[in-house]
Amino acid sequence: MTTTIDQARADLAPDGVLRAAINLGNPVLAQGDSQHPSGVTIDLAREIAHRLDTEVRFTCFDAARKSFQELAEGPATLGFLAVEPARAEQVTFTAPYVLIDGVYAVPDASPHRTPADVDAAGVRIGVKEGSAYDLFLSRTLEHATIFRGADGTTTFAEQDLDVAAGIREPVTAYVASHPGLRVIDEPFMQIRQAVATKPTVRAETTGWLDALLDELLAGGFVADALRRSGQGEGLAAPRS
């Protein structure tokens, strides 16, 4: 009799190998290099492979858009991506396992104090191309202009822009090392990081992944993985 595990294994590792696309460009989710990756996404992929009784292989990228492409069009069968409508057309998402704030950095003298202030005519915002916050801001901003590059803070500095957009942890670190800047503390979005699969997986497989994530969140696995990698335990999502 075919079990849910058998179905999940057939969907995610049909040849006995779970192929996971890893985004090293998000330091909350993954650290290290392609030879020695670490972090919460690495731990989750290994645990999923363990439950499936399969091997796991990692392919690492420096940007979410590249790991998304590997999952959507390449050989990867598992990914770790922020939930966004544009991506949901090509991949299937679980419930989130980590919640990250998207925030702005501005010069100390900037008149902008809230995210709403930033969406004004003439305001130029640096973002990382293809990131979750690029996708979000592209569909929600009405007046400000987006400038895309390798990183939001880098684009902000190189092009002398008004605002840098990014995830809270690295943006805060950037501001701390660059006097004359400040973080707008109110987030402009909450980035819901989820496990992603090819859209061809069965609903039972997505349900199995959701149940596993719920178990790992409840048991402290996700919080512990975040802590071990130097991230805040409080980033772990509430149980679904």
pLDDT at 150 over 90: yes
**Averaged pLDDT for residues 137-144:** 97
Cα–Cα separations (whole angstroms), residue 96 to 29, 75, 239, 240: 13, 23, 9, 8
Q: Which residues contact 208 (CB under 8 A, 6 or more apart)?
A: 4, 5, 7, 8
**Averaged pLDDT for residues 4-24:** 97
pLDDT band at 181 (very low <50, low <70, confident <90, very high): very high
Predicted model pTM: 0.93
Query: Sign of torsion, CA 119 120 122 123?
Result: negative
Q: Which residues contact 184 (CB under 8 A, 6 or more apart)?
A: 103, 104, 105, 106, 112, 113, 114, 115, 118
Pairing type for strands 78-82 and 145-149 reads unpaired
Alpha-carbon span 94 to 190, nearest angstrom: 16
**Averaged pLDDT for residues 118-128:** 98
From 149, 206, 201, 185, select the one nearest 11 (Cα to Cα): 201
Poorest-pLDDT segment among 101-110, 114-123, 231-240: 231-240
Q: Which residue has the tokens 């699969």?
A: 197
Query: Sign of torsion, CA 92 95 100 102?
Result: positive
Alpha-carbon span 136 to 23, nearest angstrom: 18
pLDDT at 1 over 60: no
Structure tokens at 78: 């598992």
